[in-house]
Amino acid sequence: MPEPLIEARQVEKFYDQPSDNRIQVIAPLDLAVYPGEILTLLGPSGSGKSTLLRILTGLSEASGGQVLWHGSPIKGPCENVSIVFQSFALFPWLTVLENIEAPLKARGVSPEGRFARSLRMADAVGLDGFENAYPKELSGGMKQRVGFARALVVEPEVLFMDEPFSALDVLTAENLRSELLELWEDKKMPTRAVFIVTHNIEEAVLLGDRIVVLGKNPGRIRTNFRVDLPRPRDRKHPRFTRIVDYIYQVLTQPDTEHALPATGPGSPKTDSRLKYPMLPHARTGGVAGFLEILADHNGREDVYRLADLLSFEIDDLLPIVEAAALLGFVKLSEGDAEITPAGLEFAHADILRQKELFRGAALQHVVLLKQIKSALESKSDHTLPDEFFHDILDEHFSEEETLRQLETAINWGRYAELFDHDSERKRFFIPEETPGPPQNMEVGTET
């Protein structure tokens, strides 16, 4: 094994809460980037993959553990890395050439040297003729080429890319991916390793010599394996689809390794209450649509094929699948989703009946909705301020996640007609004249 360029040892990220709890974003993990490889880091949203990228580049500090750059710990941003950003991060007031020159300027390269090097790099990524344009005059694909040129002009040892293709349309992304591979294969870029963060599974398999899959809540490595398919890779090749399928399996499998290793002496307090069940951020309409499509596919389908069929990326589809599974409408096994009898009934019901079924399932399976409903019922005026639930949740989630949890809960609660929310007064309440559960529904009373 060669020396790694960058190595993370027991790196973790958490936010301390005022109470005894803390919010773990990334559980302690080891990861190394070796010369000569393209490493793709794959994970659903909320798995901390962008955070991990920022820790490895030295942009943000880890809460624990160490990042080694050629064997010695880093302080501040790394000497010789570059980042290609999802949103391009070009300076709108600089021309294409000035944008590419900016990092050289920071290194004190003479004007002539700067000009020659950036012009060469602009040509290499196909920007000839656009040197004097401003970023706003360029299409998304051209903007990202500027991002590439700016990243490569400083001849970084490791090129980091943070979802570089996800802001582009499908065709442009495909085009840029193959050009990136061409530069890499032909050794036209001076870079020794490439580290790509993505949430697109096919992209990870197309590009990666090694694939690392992160799980979420907290982020941790679920699998880390080499891909030795020859390039250019064929999406239809059975070995390709087998790898994609395998990743889907890993991602849809319920988390088995709940018990996290202790984070070291003095912090045994962390994980006792960490596992508050998390609402997947899916819209109710999405769940209903997913169940109807699944029913049309004879009730069982490969999640990967469904994603392909709907041209969804995992970040779009996974929350919906998770929500359906949480509600007991589907069962997941081996990357397949199978509809349950309850799910099938839901899929074939009319709108009002769907709401009833959803209400029943929600009260049976979703802790947060159950809690909100019973808390509201226990009050004589049937109303409670947002802060009440906010305080319950922020023990377990970051501020941002807490707000998203509440937002999803409101969406589900409204759909199920369990409760309503007044966004101006910031209060949850049960409407007075709920047309509400018909007589034959006995849900909503048990907790």
Partner 1 sequence: MNVPGLSRSLIPDRTWNFLMDATVFAGLFALVYSIVAVARYWFSAPVAAVQISLSPTAIPRYAFYSLVRMIVAYLLSLAFAIGYGYFAAYHKRVEGPMLAVLDILQSIPVLSFLPGVMLAMVSLFPSHQVGVELGSILLIFTGQVWNMAFSFYASLKSLPRELVEASRVYRFSNLQRFFQLELPQGAIGLVWNSMVSVAGGWFFLMACEMFVLGKRDFRLPGLGSYLQSAASAGDATAITWGIAAMIGVVVLIDQLVWRPAIAWSDKFKQEQVESSSAQSSAVLNLLRKSPLLTRLRDGVTTPLMERVYLSASRRPPETQSRPSNWQRSVVAVVGLIALAGVLYSVFQGLGLLKGITRAELLTTFESAGATFLRVIASLAIASAWTIPAGVAIGFNPRLARIAQPLAQIAASVPATALFPVLLLALISLGGGLNTGSILLMLLGTQWYILFNVIAGAIAIPSEFREVAGIFRFSLIDRWRIVILPAIFPYLVTGLITASGGAWNASIVAEYFHFKGQVLSTFGLGAEISSATDAGNFALLLLSTIVMATLVVSVNRLVWRPLYRRAETRYRLEA
Nearer Cβ to partner 1 (80/364): 80
The least CB distance from residue 76 to partner 1, in Å, is 5
Structure tokens at 92: 């709108």
The least CB distance from residue 101 to partner 1, in Å, is 10
Structure tokens at 416: 């199920």
Burial class (CB within 10 angstroms; exposed 0-12, middle 13-18, buried 19+) of 75: exposed
Nearer Cβ to partner 1 (100/363): 100
Nearer Cβ to partner 1 (231/390): 390
Q: Which stretches of 255-363 are assigned E, i.e. beta strand?
A: 300-302, 330-333, 336-339
Nearer Cβ to partner 1 (92/435): 92
Q: Say if residues 33 and 195 touch (Cβ distance below 8 Å).
A: yes
Structure tokens at 294: 């699944």
Distance CA 212, CA 6 (A): 15
Distance CA 222, CA 215 (A): 6
Nearer Cβ to partner 1 (91/225): 91
Structure tokens at 391: 């305080």
Binding site for partner 1 (CB under 8 A): 54, 57, 59, 61, 75-78, 81-83, 85-89, 91-94, 102-103, 105-108, 111, 134-137, 143, 150, 154, 423-424
The least CB distance from residue 106 to partner 1, in Å, is 5
The least CB distance from residue 185 to partner 1, in Å, is 25
Rg of the chain over all Cα atoms, to the nearest angstrom: 25
The least CB distance from residue 60 to partner 1, in Å, is 9
Distance CA 224, CA 251 (A): 13
The least CB distance from residue 170 to partner 1, in Å, is 19
Structure tokens at 95: 């021309």
Distance CA 329, CA 350 (A): 16
